[in-house]
Structure 1
Amino acid sequence: MKAPEQYDPSKSTSKSRLPSPDRQSTVKSPTLPAGTPTITQTHKRTDQAEKKPFEWQFLMPKYWGIWLLFAIFLPLVYLPLRWQFWLGRKLGILIYTIVGSRRRDTSINLKLAFPEKPEVERELMAKQVFVNQGIGVFETLCAWFRPNVFTRTVSISGLQHVINAQNNGRAVILLGAHYTMLDLGGMLCTQFFPMDGMYRPQNNALLDWFIYNGRTSILSKQISNRNMRSLVDSLKKGHVIWYSPDQDYGLKPGVMAPFFGVPAATLTATRRLATLGSKEHPPAVMALHTYRQTPDNLPSGKRPHYHLTITPELDNYPSNDEIADATRVNEVLEGLIRIDPTQWMWFHRRFKNAPEGRRDIYK
């Protein structure tokens, strides 16, 4: 069967440069006094993290659909990765074909963010977003249930920024984004340093139970976005915290700031978090990018490769201008997303709010 035509980011008009996963990035630790431990030397596994208990209500008929999906997909994660990627591509194309609302939202977002691109290129990008998300389904399940399959498939650049901050007694706020390999990105990070993660509880109780318990093998602690006390505790203890401020939650918790040249509701919580924790050693704010190179673009028989990029700390952050700070965060995330735009979840309604209220562009 012929593989679906794919969007090739290397041929895009984007000015961002693709990372080179074929060349392993050399990670150099900072110069430290003799005997000073680095975070990789004190890293503790998180597989004993407390899980949420099973609830008998999960056996009710309203949850049977989720049980069926897990019964279908979970055994498939024990197939070779190349087969999983093939299935993921087919799953992505299927979703692109049958879920018209998400396909339409993706096309609208890409038209707003990349007006200079011809429509045919944006259509290829939209399809590849769904292909990448289909692959991401299998990556996430593997990250939860079969993490060792990704041994020796990852390189990292910028690790020294985290090490420097941690060895200076500072917490790190790691600005992630909703990439299609979201949970796998977190698992790969924890091969280098332990990490807490902020999350929004799912509305579906069973789905929330699966996701939360799956992430207990990845994150040292999961912090609900409603639990500020737990967040402050992690910051005061100097932890690394993964926080993703790249979605539209309206203007009540945010301000309007440009994102891909489009005014977008942008969270301001990042600048408030940067003022919490230890006063002597305030948190360091930096960004994380996760990049997947699939077997399609690799020589025959090669495993997929993943590259993690951590940016330098944002200096003089936060400032006295919340709009300027929001714009700055958006610019950092946009620059990373442009490395391969199709690996970001464009099917979310990122531009649904405007200063005067809801936009009607998605109707």
Structure 2
Amino acid sequence: MINKGLSRLGIVFLYLISLLPFWLLYILADVLFVLLYYLVGYRRKVTQANLRNAFPEKTDVERSGIEKKYYRYLADLILEAIKMTTISQSELQRRVVCTNPELVKSYEAAGKSVTAVAGHYCNWEWAGLEFSIHTRLFVIYKSLANNIFDKFFIKTRSRFGAVVVPMAQALRSSVAHKNEFTVSVYAGDQTPPLATAQYFTDFLNQPTAVFLGIEKIARLIDSVVIFYDMKRIKRGYYTYTVVPLVENTKESAAHEITEAHVKYLEMMIRREPQYWIWSHRRWKFKPENVKYKK
């Protein structure tokens, strides 16, 4: 009961923060940056190790610069995510712009559903929320352990019409709607559980376990696979571009789709590395830790 009460109190607190104007939110973000980077040192060792392994060719000074920029952006991202709770449709569309919405419309006209892949890069949550205004969007997500916060974030992500689908039900949902036009968006840079890790690829100079579910589902329903290429224009303003990766998925080779979305994300990260989530423990295990099924 105490945990439920604290969770509900936390949600009320987040809601009240979301009502603040953007200029005040970003003042709070500046304060949060100092807390995360200097005072608490939130996962700085994890971030430093990830940057060191990902960019061995860079100097310590260069990696340190990326680290600091990342924590400045992380503070902004946290406050922007909270703002999703109450941001208006018009305000969101003013701050997030799709550069080529006509491409998805052409797939719809051709009767080809879309499997969209995004990374935890820039404000991927805002992009999904904005995109749900234009089309029937299915957001595939990993459920939170806290049921109260899980329901809260589901409600937030579905404010403008998105259908939120737990990852465990993604295949069932895709098959159920395979005869309808849908856009299903997945995060392509999550770490699979050790027990289910069956495929590794080179990502940011490291052998990296990746989910094969995106590829399997796209081939099963013969959908087009696209990537969200997102850019931060300035504080609180973004664009994203729909980039075709594989259009004839049933004819694609094994792991072609997986390699395509992993490599595209790596290109984006190398372009502006401060906008990826470096404090995440992405490399939890190595290929030698995995017992492959015979």
Same fold, judged at TM 0.5 (above): yes
Tell me how far apart the structure 1 counterparts of residues 104 and 86 of structure 2 sit (CA, whole Å).
27
Q: Which residue of structure 1 lines up, in the alignment, with residue 210 of structure 2?
A: 266
SS of structure 2 residue aligned to 1:145: coil
Give, in angstroms, the shift of residue 245 of structure 1. 1.7
* Aligned counterparts of 1:274 and 1:117: Cα–Cα separation in 2: 37
1:233 to 165, 176, 181: 176
Q: How does 1:22-33 map to 2 (within 5 A)?
A: none
Q: Which residue of 2 aligns with 1:217?
A: 159
Query: Quick one: which of 231, 240, 249 aligns to 1:291?
Result: 231
Matched position secondary structure for 2:120 = coil
**SS at 2:108 equivalent:** helix
Q: In structure 2, do the counterparts of structure 1 residues 65 and 150 end up closer, same or farther at CA, with 3 Å as the change threshold?
A: same
- Structure 2: runs of 5 or more not aligned: none
5 Å matches for 1:81-92? Answer: 81-92=22-33
Q: Residue 155 of structure 1 aligns to a residue in which SS?
A: strand
Q: Mapping of 1:70-85 within 5 angstroms? A: 70-85=11-26
**Offset at residue 142 of structure 1 (A):** 2.2
Identity in percent: 25
Q: TM-score, normalised by structure 2?
A: 0.87
How many matched pairs? 286
Q: Distance in 2 between matches of 1:77 and 1:244?
A: 25
The alpha-carbon distance between structure 1 residues 151 and 221, as it changes in their structure 2 partners (threshold 3 A), is closer
Query: Equivalents in 2 of 1:351, 1:154: separation in Å?
Result: 31
Q: Distance in 2 between matches of 1:196 and 1:326?
A: 20
CA–CA distance in structure 2, aligned partners of residues 189 and 66 of structure 1: 29
Alpha-carbon distance between aligned partners in 2 of 1:204 and 1:259, rounded to the nearest angstrom: 31
When you count helix as a share of all residues, which structure comes out higher? 2
Change over 3 Å in CA distance of 1:116–1:239 after alignment to 2: same
Q: Distance in 2 between matches of 1:219 and 1:342?
A: 31
Q: Displacement of 1:153 after TM fit? A: 2.5
Indicate yes or no: 2:62 matched with 1:121.
Answer: yes
- Pairwise mapping of residues 31-180 of structure 1 onto structure 2 (< 5 A)? 60-100=1-41, 102-148=43-89, 149-180=91-122
Partner Cα separation in structure 2 for residue 72 and residue 313 of structure 1: 41
Question: Aligned partner of 1:289: which letter?
Answer: D
Q: Is 1:342 matched up with 2:274?
A: yes
Q: Distance in 2 between matches of 1:89 and 1:254?
A: 41
**Separation in 2, partners of 1:241, 1:219:** 13
SS at match of 1:213: helix
- What TM-score, normalized by structure 1, do the two folds share? 0.72
